Amino acid sequence: MVRKPSTAASEVTPLRTLIVEDNVQFRQSFREILENQFPEMVIFEAGDGKEAFETMAASQPHLVFMDIRLPGENGLELTKKIKAQIPGIVVVVLTSYDLPEYREVAREYGANHFLVKGLTTGDEIAAIVRSFFPGR
């Protein structure tokens, strides 16, 4: 019996990603960018912190795109909690407010990257994802 050599793609677990964003239109647009760049990616969505934690428990994502301004708890605090529970998870903070103090707190709370909404292209988003997950 001859066995086919396994391919790297068949051995790679699909990247599970959670988008935490309260603006439904932005969340859908961001999802489309990810789906176009990474058709194999499994994407989950949450509109606030409570939903984010529930979705995280069920989906166990590798990557989280986290908006700062959310109903209830802000995304920076959520990032801190997530990184305390799951240090290896990759969190990319999303914001329309490119303020030095936000960047500093995001870094302090363990965010892996800081992304300004509307200033980043789909190719740049893909490059950010690939920098954390080479071969994707």
Q: What is the CATH number of the domain that holds 60?
A: 3.40.50.2300
pLDDT per position as a tens digit, 16-67: 999 999 999 999 999 999 999 999 999 999 999 999 999 999 999 999 999 9
In a domain, 8, yes or no: no
First to last CA, the chain: 32
pLDDT per position as a tens digit, 77-133: 999 999 999 999 999 999 998 999 999 999 999 999 999 998 999 999 999 999 999
**Domain of residue 25, residue span:** 15-132
In a domain, 34, yes or no: yes
In a domain, 40, yes or no: yes
